[in-house]
Amino acid sequence: MSELDVCPDELRHVGDIALVIADLTKERNLLDSVVLGEWALEFIAETVTDPDQGKLHPELDARISQGPPRMVILRRIELTEPWRGHGPGAALIASALRILSPNARLAACRASPLDFALPGADRITAEPGRGLGVRTGFARPR
């Protein structure tokens, strides 16, 4: 057995991902804003044209594949210190979304360059994190 075969215990936890699956067919209530976040409710309101059936805005509907009227909402991802800067974040997000793809039609996240900043960093320092969404299949809404 080589050193590459054994992962030290302190490196086994790579990070944490917080996801929520929103049903696009149900009526929203005040508790949804706590669970989903206010930005997610606004995004759902802009993309769902018929809440009774979970129909999406026609332009968005034409761009994505068919599936159940649900949306995966990526609330946050945080890598443990030893894994930061080595690129597993995009792979973890992409894998989680791939696993959940049979259960939801689309995914949404809200990211700001400042979400990727180290404490005390400015907006320019945080800029490299913007590419994460593109690498995991996210696109800006139009």
Report whether pLDDT(124) > 70. Answer: no
Give the pLDDT confidence score for residue 43 in this predicted structure.
Answer: 83
Maximum pairwise Cα distance, the chain: 58
Dihedral sign, Cα of residue 63, residue 53, residue 140, residue 134: negative
Predicted confidence at residue 85, as pLDDT, reads: 87
CA distances from 107 to 17, 100, 103, 115, 127 (A): 14, 10, 11, 18, 22
- Mean pLDDT, range 10-36, rounded to an integer: 82
* Digit-coded pLDDT (tens) for 45-74: 888 877 777 788 888 888 888 888 888 999
According to DSSP, the β-strands at 106-109 and 70-79 are parallel
- The DSSP 8-state label assigned to residue 34 in this structure reads H
> CA–CA distance from 3 to each of 88, 125, 135 (Å)?
20, 35, 31
pLDDT at 128 over 80: no
pLDDT in tens, 108-120: 887 655 555 555 5
Q: In whole angstroms, what separates CA 107 from the centre of its chain?
A: 6
Q: Report the amino acid identity of residue 95.
A: S
Position 14 confidence tier, pLDDT thresholds 50, 70, 90: very high
Question: Helix (H, G, I), strand (E, B), or coil: what is residue 81?
Answer: helix
Share of the chain above pLDDT 90, in %: 18
The domain segmentation of the chain, as residue ranges, is 3-135
Contacts of 65 (CB under 8 A, 6+ apart): 105
pTM value > 0.75: no
